[in-house]
């Protein structure tokens, strides 16, 4: 266990102005507060905060962070209060300790909804001061180092939480060494057999390639020295979890991996990186497709380096990383390497972190917190965050040269939403490197992507399954919800306008606003959407707006059936609409307010058609179904009998055909056809030549000589449908043809 004076001396070695008295005071206070408490291993509990402080001292963090590490368990595990910490150590340290206490109470491996909500709280806690995250990661690292003392069930929970949340978060913050160690401990706990197998195979490979790392490092060093490029070379072996995950991902054996051994060339300046690269590539053969320049295009966690793979000594594939000393520090320690915690005067900067705006990793964290305020539900937020945590990146460009970083596997849909949500919502196509390409095309590093937009476009809900990034999926869901809400809102408005007209009143949103309290709604838009969804009756709204007036008598319905040339038709008085058939059989209607205009399935109202369909030329009525909008029936449909006792669901509707943009409408016909070869072909030919579209066919053999067909069609209007039926009746193979399903 680290001693008090050792910890203080370590901090003073890199921060000579550190408050030595503060560190000593925090050490003594925490030791007394924890007293005789023991850890699961039997060690004194105080050894844990002390080791956490030592880890942070290795990362060269400031005295306030070290003091916070010593005190981080006092509020949670002792009788200490937040007020005592504030009084003894100042509000800054009190806030940090309190943030860590709240994080410790979170459960990040429970059911999805709870996990998502707790993850939101975690990011909110660490976003106000990045030091909260650094202490938490050090705390988790020491817990993972001592995980063997925990019971198996608890060990599994902690390891899963580490693998799912804390290791990726450390990587996203640029702290690669910490991520690798956390993953290693979690891998060993979660899959001990796989861990042991990889370690054993690595030992065999290490024995077989004995001296290889030193030989390659010496060859690289000698070549750099020969060309007068300053720098030092180091080699390392890939970690067991990284090897295992790559073997799983690529479905290959350990021997097939080309980057088990990786080498770093660390040089003083950026210019030296490219000089070293030139030396390497002119001395050994480069492996095609294995070059990445993260100096020119840094990763979002601030990582910078040149990656290349060569065929080096012993004809061995060698992965090289070339970077400056500063880049090397950031690659290992991430946000902790920026030394942003104290300025020259010793004062804290905004958000508790001086210069945090210069850190891409910290900006990413702030961006996530910004998303919390946009109203996404917890599950969507967790989905988006985990995608960004785990995915590697590709770098693409807009036509104007703006760099867009995306997860590997992303497509133009993701690119469009990464540029701007409005661009994504109006996207209709894309050009990749000047060529029109499908929106599902996987993007590659260096692609130039041009998004083609249309103001008339709304993102199809099916795009959710095509998008890779959480941001795109979340935006598509939000746009879909908004579009559906707008449809229901417009339908509700149409219904209310006509309800007000029947009472000889003028509809206005201001009149609704005055009755919001009585309707238990927040806005007029909420009222109209609720009416459109069928959750709120139009009569209830009218009564709420005009409570002083007497309720109107519900319309009396009159049902009469008479026979004419087209069959049986019900005469109904529906919400003020009266149908009558003169003696000639011609139908006309008398009504007060006009019906709600219906343009079909692609209109801007939530409309569907009954099983038998309906086409322009039919008299139609709408039935309002809660949560589904309006279902359109022909007025003679027998299915309408089921709604005779629910007059509040009957909606007056009328066709509103756009002559410039004709649409097909659904209809169903029933045929009895001779059961002989070619019958179906003749039926299809008649329909095709009449410019009808067959959507579905169902065939049954009712008798040996005849086949019953039920055909779903798409036609322009009633005349078009009748022409098709007449054409079918003219065929010798057709015994009977009639409209069905109405």
The set of catalytic residues is 76-77
- What does the alpha-carbon distance between residue 189 and residue 156 come to, in Å, rounded to a whole number? 7
- For residue 683, the surrounding DSSP H or E stretch is helix 679-689
- Cα Rg of the chain, angstroms: 36
CB 304 within 8 A of CB 327: yes
- What does the alpha-carbon distance between residue 462 and residue 479 come to, in Å, rounded to a whole number? 12
- What does the alpha-carbon distance between residue 656 and residue 585 come to, in Å, rounded to a whole number? 24
Count how many residues are written for the chain: 742
Structure-block tokens of residue 615: 């086409």
Q: Which residues pair with 394 in a beta bridge?
A: 406
CB 265 within 8 A of CB 322: yes
653 closest CA partner among 602, 601, 596: 596
419 closest CA partner among 437, 398, 389, 440: 398
Task: Give Cβ neighbours of residue 533 (< 8 Å, ≥ 6 apart).
Answer: 488, 492, 626, 627, 629
- What does the alpha-carbon distance between residue 691 and residue 400 come to, in Å, rounded to a whole number? 47
166 closest CA partner among 227, 104, 217, 232: 104
In three-state secondary structure terms, 477 is: helix
- What does the alpha-carbon distance between residue 7 and residue 28 come to, in Å, rounded to a whole number? 13
- What does the alpha-carbon distance between residue 548 and residue 248 come to, in Å, rounded to a whole number? 72
Could you give the C-alpha distances from 18 to 57, 66, 348, in angstroms and in order? 12, 10, 14
112 closest CA partner among 366, 340, 383: 383
Q: What is the sign of the dihedral through the CA atoms of 385, 391, 397 and 402?
A: positive
599, burial (CB in 10 Å: exposed 0-12, middle 13-18, buried 19+)? middle
316, burial (CB in 10 Å: exposed 0-12, middle 13-18, buried 19+)? middle
Q: Give the distance, in angstroms, between the CA of residue 656 and the centroid of all CA atoms in the same chain.
A: 38
In 534-619, alpha helices (H) = 538-545
Dihedral over alpha carbons 384, 388, 391, 397 (to 10 degrees): 110
Could you give the C-alpha distances from 119 to 45, 474, 614, in angstroms and in order? 27, 17, 50
Q: Which residues pair with 403 in a beta bridge?
A: 397
CB 575 within 8 A of CB 652: yes
Strands (E), 268-411: 285-286, 292-293, 306-311, 317-324, 393-397, 403-407
In three-state secondary structure terms, 41 is: coil
106 closest CA partner among 94, 116, 93: 116
For 397-451, the DSSP string reads E-TT--EEEEETT--HHHHHHHH-HHHHHTEEEEEETTEEE-TTPPP-TT-BEEE
236 closest CA partner among 207, 216, 254, 250: 216
Residue 308 dihedral angles phi and psi, to the nearest 5°: -150, 160
Neighbours of 677 (CB within 10 A): 7
- What does the alpha-carbon distance between residue 716 and residue 632 come to, in Å, rounded to a whole number? 16
In 284-377, alpha helices (H) = 325-333, 360-372
Structure-token match 């104007």, residue found: 400
């Amino acid at each position: 266990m680290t001693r008090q004076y050792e910890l203080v001396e370590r901090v003073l070695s890199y921060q000579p102005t550190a408050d030595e008295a503060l560190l000593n005071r925090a050490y003594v206070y925490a030791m007394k507060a924890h007293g005789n408490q023991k850890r699961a291993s039997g060690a004194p509990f105080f050894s844990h905060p002390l080791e956490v402080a030592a880890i942070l001292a290795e990362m060269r963090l400031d005295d306030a962070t070290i003091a916070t590490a010593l005190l981080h368990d006092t509020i949670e595990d002792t009788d200490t209060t937040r007020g005592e910490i504030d009084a003894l150590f100042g509000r800054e340290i009190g806030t940090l300790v309190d943030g860590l206490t709240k994080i410790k109470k979170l459960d990040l491996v429970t059911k999805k909804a709870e996990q998502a909500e707790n993850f939101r709280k975690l990011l909110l806690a660490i976003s106000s001061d990045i030091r909260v995250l650094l202490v938490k990661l050090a705390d988790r690292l020491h817990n993972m180092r001592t995980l063997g003392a925990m019971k198996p069930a608890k060990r599994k929970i902690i390891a899963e939480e580490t693998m799912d949340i804390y290791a990726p978060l450390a990587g996203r913050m640029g702290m690669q060494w910490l991520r690798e160690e956390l993953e290693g401990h979690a891998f060993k706990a979660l899959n001990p057999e796989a861990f042991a197998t990889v370690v054993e195979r690595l030992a065999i490979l290490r024995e077989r390639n004995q001296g290889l790392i030193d030989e390659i490092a010496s060859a690289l060093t000698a070549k750099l020295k020969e060309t007068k490029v300053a720098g030092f070379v180091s080699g390392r072996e890939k970690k067991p979890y990284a090897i295992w995950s790559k073997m799983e991902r690529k479905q290959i054996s350990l021997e097939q991996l080309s980057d088990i051994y990786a080498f770093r060339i660390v040089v003083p300046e950026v210019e030296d990186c490219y000089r070293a690269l030139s030396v390497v590539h002119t001395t050994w053969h480069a492996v095609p497709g294995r070059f990445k320049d993260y100096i020119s295009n840094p990763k979002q966690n601030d990582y910078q380096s040149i990656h290349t793979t060569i065929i080096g000594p012993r004809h061995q594939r060698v992965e090289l990383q070339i970077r400056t000393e500063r880049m090397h520090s950031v690659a290992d320690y991430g946000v902790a390497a920026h030394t942003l915690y104290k300025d020259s005067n010793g004062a804290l900067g905004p958000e508790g972190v001086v210069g945090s705006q210069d850190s891409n990793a910290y900006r990413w964290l702030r961006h996530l917190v910004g998303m919390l305020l946009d109203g996404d539900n917890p599950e969507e937020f967790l989905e988006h965050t985990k995608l960004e945590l785990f995915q590697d990146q590709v770098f693409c460009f807009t036509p104007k040269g703006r760099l867009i970083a995306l997860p590997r596997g992303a497509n133009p849909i993701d690119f469009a939403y990464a540029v701007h949500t409005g661009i994504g919502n109006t996207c209709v196509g894309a050009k990749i490197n000047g060529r029109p390409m499908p929106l599902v095309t996987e993007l590659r590093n260096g692609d130039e992507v041009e998004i083609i937009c249309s103001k008339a476009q709304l993102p199809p809900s099916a795009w959710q399954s095509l998008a890779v990034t959480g941001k795109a999926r979340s935006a598509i869901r939000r746009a879909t919800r908004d579009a559906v809400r707008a449809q229901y809102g417009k339908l509700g408005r149409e219904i209310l306008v006509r309800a007000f007209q029947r009472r000889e009143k003028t509809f206005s949103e201001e009149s609704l606003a005055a009755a919001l309290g009585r309707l238990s709604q927040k806005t007029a838009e909420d009222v109209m959407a609720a009416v459109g969804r069928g959750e709120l009756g139009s009569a209830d709204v009218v009564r709420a707006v005009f409570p002083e007036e007497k309720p109107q008598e519900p319309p009396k319905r009159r049902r009469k059936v008479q026979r004419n040339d087209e069959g049986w038709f019900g005469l109904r008085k529906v919400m003020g609409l009266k149908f009558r058939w003169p003696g000639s059989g011609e139908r006309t209607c008398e009504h007060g307010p006009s019906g709600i205009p219906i343009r079909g399935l692609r209109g801007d109202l939530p409309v569907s058609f009954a099983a038998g369909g309906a086409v322009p030329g039919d008299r139609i009525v709408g039935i309002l179904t809660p949560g589904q909008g309006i279902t359109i029936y022909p007025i003679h449909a027998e299915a309408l009998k089921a709604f005779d006792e629910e007059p509040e669901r009957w909606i007056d509707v009328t066709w509103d055909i756009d002559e410039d943009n004709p649409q097909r409408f659904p209809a169903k016909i029933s045929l009895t056809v001779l059961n002989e070869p070619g019958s179906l072909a003749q039926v299809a030919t008649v329909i095709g030549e009449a410019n009808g579209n067959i959507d579905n066919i169902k065939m049954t053999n009712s008798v040996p000589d005849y086949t019953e067909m039920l055909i779903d069609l798409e036609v322009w209007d009633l005349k078009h449908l009748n022409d098709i039926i007449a054409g079918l009746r003219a065929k010798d193979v057709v015994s009977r043809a009639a409209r069905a399903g109405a």
